[in-house]
Amino acid sequence: MYVSLESTAMTGLPITATTTWVLNPTRCHLRTIQGKGRGVFGTIRSQFTLTHSSSSSFSATQTIPARTVIETSPVLLFSKQEYDDHGRHTLLDHYTFNSRDGRMALALGLGSLFNHAENPNVSFSVDIVRERIVYTSTRAIQPDEELCIFYGHQLWFDPVDGPPSRTSDLDENTDSDAWGGLADIQGHTDDNVASASFENVDNIVTEDDLPFTWKKLSLEKEEEQLDDIELGNPTPRSVIGPLLTHSTQSRDGSSTYPIQPTSRRCSSTPTPFPSSIVLTCPPFRWLKQAGLDKDALSHLKRIRRQAALSTLLLDTSPDPPPLPPESALERPYQLPVPRHPARTPTSLALKNTYWPTVLCPRRKWEPEPWTMARVRWASDAVDRLKRAYTDAVIAQNGEVGRDPFMRIRMLMCRQLPVVVHVPIPHPDPTQLSRPFFAYDTRMSTSHPLRHAALDVIRQIADDRAAQPGDEAAKNGAQYLLTGLSLFITHEPCVMCTMALLHSRVKEVFYLVPMPRTGGCGGLTCIPSLKGVNHRFSIGVWKEDPDWPDPLDPTIDV
């Protein structure tokens, strides 16, 4: 929007430009400041006339409140190669945000024109998913005050000192010095330009760069000390019995593969517990034939080699059958073994002192690494969720808006709508016929169980049951949300979390934690309780400065 500056009478200060651009909704504009070149200013304490609409005029004297999103600048991204070969040798280098991995982001719009201040009144955060930088006021900013960010501690120019400049610093001249130096704005961003690739949607996004934070389900202790290791069974008689075998030594004294079958032929009927060390075929085949290659033991190695001795893990039966009397060494005996795989090298070293254990840093139910494409899919789902939330309030389409008295009552009770969204899954869209949305309808239906999450489970169940030929779904025998991701404005309550768990949901993302009622980490964390037969991943969406949080964290959902 183009405006012409008619008067400077209100400030009485020298203003160089007779025209300026109002570049964004907060009416920021550019001016030239001595020693700095151009800079961004808040609203002008003057009278403007809109040139494209001769009759309109307005007085812009408002203070920008703290935490206002001042500007959202799209960024252009250049690869490290492009930056090294070209960008850093050009003027653009004065205006770029350099990421730690060497890539270069050029902010469009006002983004490239904020000057530096030691005490900035504007902070910025780089949103890698949407390829943009969001600038937010850190405090109330007076009209005509310059808007500055903090570039970092290694400046490439002599800064004009002091707090952000006021109009008194305005200069008559365009300062060409401002174009000099090497701009390398780094280190003060909330999250800086992220290391995830913008070029390739299949690239893995690092956990720090995800737009949400995974909730860690603390199922197991940290296992930093021997006492932390959970063993198969605490009582000596109920531990497992590895078969101790003899070793075979070669002539030079080194041990060789010790569990040698005496014959190449496998016994057709292996006994469940061999009375001797002599196996009739290679040990893994023998275990399989004996029905002892159980999944429950997959976190343990089956053979322990100790110098000249190797031991075969047979079973973890709490009550092993009586074994034939053999020589002491050759008889199976019992040992405590770790109950879970090792999650860290420290825990692996500790567990190996009991029995060789498998290192498995990711638990079965834990989220897989996310690609950029998946991050975008989830961000789109959250955008839709937020739009649905806004619709529920503003378009009076939801619980709040249905009737004005209800709205007032709910607002007085500080209750707001709770919205849930189950999108078409990524990357396999065939698992759901369409996206689903549901609202909390407890009030309108006078039904205390009509929570948004329960409503969406029911919708999906009905939809699946209506699909032709899906008999399991019709009979309610199918798990309802298998493989699906659920996005919800507020952390689901304990009841809804249990229902989601029973529905075998894959993952749940919420915007607002509910410390008093939440079942996903607020009041308690249902999926991390011992004994539950399903676990799902939980992500807490990071706050979006662009969307001033209208959700009330104190409501009872």
Judged by the rule CB under 6 A, the positions of this chain that interact with ligand SAM are: 35-39, 94-95, 112-113, 115-117, 157, 159-160, 178, 180-181, 183
Q: Which is nearer to ligand SAM, 118 or 207 (CB)?
A: 118
Tokens of 283: 């040990």
Helix or strand or coil: residue 376? Answer: helix
Q: Which is nearer to ligand SAM, 158 or 252 (CB)?
A: 158
* Shortest reach from residue 6's CB to ligand SAM, in Å: 25
Q: What is the CA radius of gyration of the chain?
A: 33
Q: Which is nearer to ligand SAM, 161 or 319 (CB)?
A: 161
Q: CA–CA separation, 332 vs 242, rounded Å?
A: 6
Q: Which is nearer to ligand SAM, 165 or 334 (CB)?
A: 165
Helix or strand or coil: residue 404? Answer: helix
Cis amide linkage into residue 361, ω under 30° from 0:
no
* Shortest reach from residue 118's CB to ligand SAM, in Å: 8
89: which residues sit within 8 A by CB, 6+ positions away?
none
Q: CA–CA separation, 342 vs 229, rounded Å?
A: 9
Q: Which is nearer to ligand SAM, 120 or 522 (CB)?
A: 120
Count Cβ atoms below 10 Å from residue 311 Cβ, excluding itself: 22
* Shortest reach from residue 125's CB to ligand SAM, in Å: 17
Q: Which is nearer to ligand SAM, 115 or 357 (CB)?
A: 115
Count Cβ atoms below 10 Å from residue 52 Cβ, excluding itself: 8
* Shortest reach from residue 104's CB to ligand SAM, in Å: 13
* Shortest reach from residue 192's CB to ligand SAM, in Å: 16
Q: Which is nearer to ligand SAM, 41 or 95 (CB)?
A: 95
3-state helix, strand, coil in the chain (%, to 5): 25, 20, 55
Q: CA–CA separation, 102 vs 205, rounded Å?
A: 16
* Shortest reach from residue 182's CB to ligand SAM, in Å: 8
195-228: burial string, b at 16+ Cβ within 10 Å, e else: bbbbeeeebbbeeebbbbebbebebbeebeeeee
* Shortest reach from residue 153's CB to ligand SAM, in Å: 13
Q: What is the largest CA-CA distance in the chain?
A: 108
Tokens of 187: 């280190």
Strand 507-512 and strand 485-490: pairing? parallel
User: Are 283 and 259 in contact, with CB atoms under 8 Å apart?
Assistant: yes
Q: For ligand SAM, which residue has the nearest CB?
A: 37
Exposure of 81 by Cβ count < 10 A (0-12 exposed, 13-18 middle, 19+ buried)? exposed
* Shortest reach from residue 204's CB to ligand SAM, in Å: 31
User: Are 247 and 258 in contact, with CB atoms under 8 Å apart?
Assistant: yes
Helix or strand or coil: residue 521? Answer: coil
* Shortest reach from residue 116's CB to ligand SAM, in Å: 4
* Shortest reach from residue 113's CB to ligand SAM, in Å: 5
Measure the CA dihedral 151/75/202/379, to 10°.
Answer: 90
Helix or strand or coil: residue 456? Answer: helix
* Shortest reach from residue 38's CB to ligand SAM, in Å: 3
* Shortest reach from residue 383's CB to ligand SAM, in Å: 30
Q: Which is nearer to ligand SAM, 94 or 351 (CB)?
A: 94
Q: Measuring CA to CA, how many Å separate 548 from each of 66, 121, 354? A: 11, 18, 53
Q: Which is nearer to ligand SAM, 149 or 392 (CB)?
A: 149
Q: Which is nearer to ligand SAM, 120 or 211 (CB)?
A: 120
Q: Which is nearer to ligand SAM, 39 or 143 (CB)?
A: 39
Q: Which is nearer to ligand SAM, 18 or 176 (CB)?
A: 176
Q: Which is nearer to ligand SAM, 36 or 215 (CB)?
A: 36
Exposure of 461 by Cβ count < 10 A (0-12 exposed, 13-18 middle, 19+ buried)? middle
214 has which bridge partners?
A: 539
* Residue-wise DSSP of 179-212: G-S---B-S-SSS-S-SS-SS-TTSEEPGGGSSE
* Shortest reach from residue 140's CB to ligand SAM, in Å: 21
Q: Which is nearer to ligand SAM, 159 or 261 (CB)?
A: 159
Count Cβ atoms below 10 Å from residue 244 Cβ, excluding itself: 18
Helix or strand or coil: residue 137? Answer: strand
* Shortest reach from residue 32's CB to ligand SAM, in Å: 7
Tokens of 161: 């000192």
* Element housing 445 (H / E): helix 442-445
